[in-house]
A and B are shown apart, each in its own frame.
Chain A
């Protein structure tokens, strides 16, 4: 394994950041600064062209947080002035002058306590098999072109076969009076996207790959093209599902979507603060079948959202959210934890240094059970094996589910018939779905190729997954 390297830029400016915190601490009772230097490349190949660009996750900048005497104020910036006084005047205009104007206009402001931090000095350096800088961009494009070439040789019905590979090297530093934290790690993700057409009928499939990995991800992608193509071709003859409630088996990908969308968002505790989460009424109560154990945390798994510390300088943890069907607790960012008078769980994440931190998921998944997939299929008289996650949307307040799925594979008398329905919308009420889980398979798989939004914005990197689960679901 090869070690990643901490950003030279952040290391070089560490003393400067310490100086900023020290100077501003004379005026503000709490000061912290988060520095981010994220570099990455995105490679894409499609029939009509090739594209190489910096990753959209690329960023270099800082966010300064101060306690203004009532609440917390932040300033995001990406030019580090020589003179700390320049920065002081910027944060003063937000934390003092803007607050004064709002108070003069009778705008109410919530009074917060001061963040208490233990003295911690730690660093984390991640490892991957192949560092991105050890393989030229030319070789990476050639690998993608080669996969595409093999795909077109494998199937004549493709109108396009798109390949994407993205590598992201994250370096972050967090400085406050008590904390000095540094971390550097690499994650990568890729997609194989076959597109087929039959008359007016166009079908597309997204097969994804991801992990705390480097260029070795391209080997996994290379092995996956046939499956991606076989699946999309099967969609051409897919029928529309007859709406109704069915016995279903969810693949680990769909189980992850349920863990994330249906339940994970509902235990983000900034939603508890806003009275936007139904989960608050169910702590200590049964919300799922006793086969269900669910985790979230940067330290819960090794995947794309595993880190030493979050974007508020809190060390990542492993939170057991559901234990044997009972809701135990939620996940929390620092500001919400102050309001709730609890400890934050290391789930305060920002889209980038430019954005506010919210409570966000990290690696969210159901634990494995004891069943075998073949036994699960054999137990269904009529139903569907649901596969291919397209998107989902949360409803923490009322626990509604929306999962847009690529396909359902028909099961009749305990056997897959080969008939496909597509697309499938899975809806329902979260506890109904989770309580209906009657079998759980024995192996967990995580997926980290997507990005999670809070509502329709604030995109952050997460992973989710689980084992195969058997449940009852409303499909349309």
Chain B
């Protein structure tokens, strides 16, 4: 298919450069309700994304327009030609500042290491199914439903500058819901677990943890209406919160004028009295479904320090926006690591706090810095007793909390994030219930 597309591209004189990204996925999927299979599925899909580039000048300034189309394997040569010609026409009036595309050569396929290579994807289905229900042993709690997706993925990136790189690997996902019933109504919690390695202990640990939290939620009381409180975020919300720094250090945000981060300055402003942010991007983070040797432009990805002791060392970004900013492209690295902090979780919990671990959907707006969500599970420590709580919401803005926030020494790994397990914040608005 790639050769067909290349032949068609080579016969269109109006275009200046091109890029093809091939993405092939074969997968197996299982859908369980309680411990019984409800449906099974398989998938074999190939996709081709073609970007064409068209250069032009206006008033002595060089521009590069581009347009991207999806080419399906069932398209005829005529359909492909029409689609690409349409894209070239569109690119001719996309007036973007000039930028180069990546230059390269043919390189052997990179096989991302995974123990899923030890057997067929089909043969992993019974193994994972068995492990999935080993911890489902409680009288009051159970796995309500689960979905397993196991993908074998192959990516190839080819362009008109001789680049021809490829890699392959695995990605898996478990979508889990657990329930628990105590004296009041039955409750549920849900979680997505993503992985590239088969690790039955990891799956069992996640399920044990979910069932434990389900039990806590089942006995949780309404969140007290304290208006403001010291808030401790734990688990997944920590990743969402810290993603703010990752996104705002991106070259596109700078070029678009959205982020005001400047190299050499502290991203948390002046007079920081809490922990300072250290951000590292690692394209090869273990067991992350976002790990890759190249980005979608074929840029070879390497570990890169972005923020050190709160100070922005450099921006990160793709070919285009790095060129605009006059920096070496790091490529799009989608794993981020935030260094753990100065306090242990035990120290953070020495005085009264509200710890929140689960929201219906905790959100951080990377543009405005507003964050918040509805509380599904947390704990209130009043100085003497610790009580599981649920309901109500928190809201705040990162500009109001980042000068005095503390990261735990203990760390956690959540797919493409490695960082502190817990963050302690002040000045967060709490809308409780009672």
Residue ranges of A at the interface with B (Cβ–Cβ < 8 Å): 9, 46-54, 58, 60-61, 71-80, 90, 93-95, 97-99, 101-102, 104-110, 136-138, 141, 159-160, 195, 200-204, 240, 242-244, 273-276, 278, 335, 354, 356, 390-391, 393-395, 397-398, 400-402, 404, 423, 425, 427, 455-457, 474-476
Which of B104-112, B372-380, B407-415 contacts its partner? B372-380
What chain B residues lie within 8 Å of A73 (beta carbons)? 39-42
**Closest B residue by C-beta to A76:** B43
Given A47-B257, A75-B43, A160-B256, check contact A398 B372 (CB 8 Å): no
Which of B5-13, B63-71, B293-301 contacts its partner? B63-71
What chain A residues lie within 8 Å of B360 (beta carbons)? 393-395, 400, 402
Pair A50/B96 contact, Cβ less than 8 Å: yes
Pair B69/A54 contact, Cβ less than 8 Å: yes
Residue ranges of B at the interface with A (Cβ–Cβ < 8 Å): 28-31, 33, 35-47, 65-70, 72-75, 79, 86-87, 89-91, 93-97, 122-123, 125-127, 129-130, 144-145, 175, 177, 179, 185-188, 190, 192, 225, 227, 255-258, 260, 359-361, 363, 365, 367-370, 372-374, 376, 391-395, 399, 429-433
Rounded to whole angstroms, the CA-CA distance of A456 and B374 in the bound complex is 16
Q: Give the number of residue pairs across the A-B interface with Cβ within 8 Å.
A: 243
Pair B72/A61 contact, Cβ less than 8 Å: yes
What chain A residues lie within 8 Å of B93 (beta carbons)? 50, 138, 141
Given A243-B227, A393-B374, check contact A109 B37 (CB 8 Å): yes
Rounded to whole angstroms, the CA-CA distance of A109 and B369 in the bound complex is 47
What chain B residues lie within 8 Å of A107 (beta carbons)? 37, 126, 129-130
What chain B residues lie within 8 Å of A401 (beta carbons)? 374
User: Is chain A's binding surface mostly helix, strand, loop or mixed?
Assistant: mixed
Pair B185/A398 contact, Cβ less than 8 Å: yes
What chain A residues lie within 8 Å of B227 (beta carbons)? 242-243
Pair B192/A46 contact, Cβ less than 8 Å: no
Rounded to whole angstroms, the CA-CA distance of A242 and B431 in the bound complex is 8
Name 18 A/B residue pairs within 8 A (Cβ), A-sorted. Answer: A53-B67, A53-B69, A54-B68, A71-B37, A75-B44, A102-B126, A110-B33, A200-B260, A243-B227, A273-B33, A335-B39, A397-B187, A397-B188, A400-B391, A404-B373, A423-B370, A425-B395, A427-B393
What chain A residues lie within 8 Å of B126 (beta carbons)? 101-102, 104-105, 107
Pair B373/A356 contact, Cβ less than 8 Å: no
Pair B37/A80 contact, Cβ less than 8 Å: no
Rounded to whole angstroms, the CA-CA distance of A98 and B28 in the bound complex is 9
**Closest B residue by C-beta to A453:** B361
Given A276-B177, A402-B393, A423-B372, check contact A78 B72 (CB 8 Å): yes
Rounded to whole angstroms, the CA-CA distance of A235 and B72 in the bound complex is 44
Rounded to whole angstroms, the CA-CA distance of A456 and B236 in the bound complex is 13
Rounded to whole angstroms, the CA-CA distance of A60 and B42 in the bound complex is 17
